Amino acid sequence: MDKTNRIILALAVIFGMLGFLMSSYFMKDGSKLIGNEAPALNITLLNGQKLSLESLRGRPVLINVWATWCPPCIEEMPMLDTAHRAGEIHVIAIAHDERESVEQFLKKMNFAFDIAMGDSAPGFDASYEVPSTIPYSVVINSDGEVSAVKRGLMSKRELDEMIADAR
């Protein structure tokens, strides 16, 4: 290998490593939340009821950010509903969407978990480090601490592990 090719190869490796490090920095996953007390959450649900995270202390909670236009969000919702109905975890789904779209979508579904609009929880996105990509889930253990954060589609195995860790 001549000197020019070695220089090109070295530069490719350096830029590849820099790209990886920068993407890790900019693609926040909320991991600094893990192990800390969950930020306060007082929210008005779609049905008009008020809900505070503090009122759920003593049981695991999963907060899921979703939208009707997000296929991975819709794909994981039945799994979250099953876990909520079984009493394994209390699910709060926060829609980052248009209210009318959410209401139309929910007319076709029979979810048992709590549903709210994103604008009904001022400061939620910042305090929970909600990224621009969804779905995004935060699991809070029975002691009120963040025990897991998941960006993107959640598998059943991942959900089961997060529930087990949150108890």
The first and second tokens of residue 154, run together, are 């959640």
Q: Kindly report the pTM of this predicted structure.
A: 0.80
The chain-wide mean pLDDT, for the chain, equals 87
Confidence of residue 32 (pLDDT cuts 50, 70, 90): confident
Q: Which domain holds residue 141?
A: 30-166
The first and second tokens of residue 9, run together, are 């190869």
Q: Which residue has the higher pLDDT, 29 or 116?
A: 116
Tell which residue, 139, 93, 140, has the closest CA to residue 116: 93
Rounded Cα distance between 85 and 71, Å, is: 22
Tell which residue, 129, 167, 164, has the closest CA to residue 150: 129
The reply to whether 112 falls in a domain is yes
The reply to whether 52 falls in a domain is yes
The reply to whether 17 falls in a domain is no
Angle at 135 between CA 167 and CA 68, to 5 degrees: 125
CATH number, domain containing residue 52: 3.40.30.10
Torsion sign (Cα): 86, 91, 96, 99: positive
The reply to whether 128 falls in a domain is yes
| Per-residue pLDDT tens digits for 68-98 | 999 999 999 999 999 999 999 999 999 999 9
The reply to whether 125 falls in a domain is yes
Indicate the DSSP class of residue 8: H
The reply to whether 22 falls in a domain is no
Torsion of CA 158, 156, 69, 93, to 10 degrees: -70
CB 163 within 8 A of CB 89: yes
The reply to whether 19 falls in a domain is no
pLDDT at 46: 92
Q: Total domain count for the chain?
A: 1
The reply to whether 8 falls in a domain is no
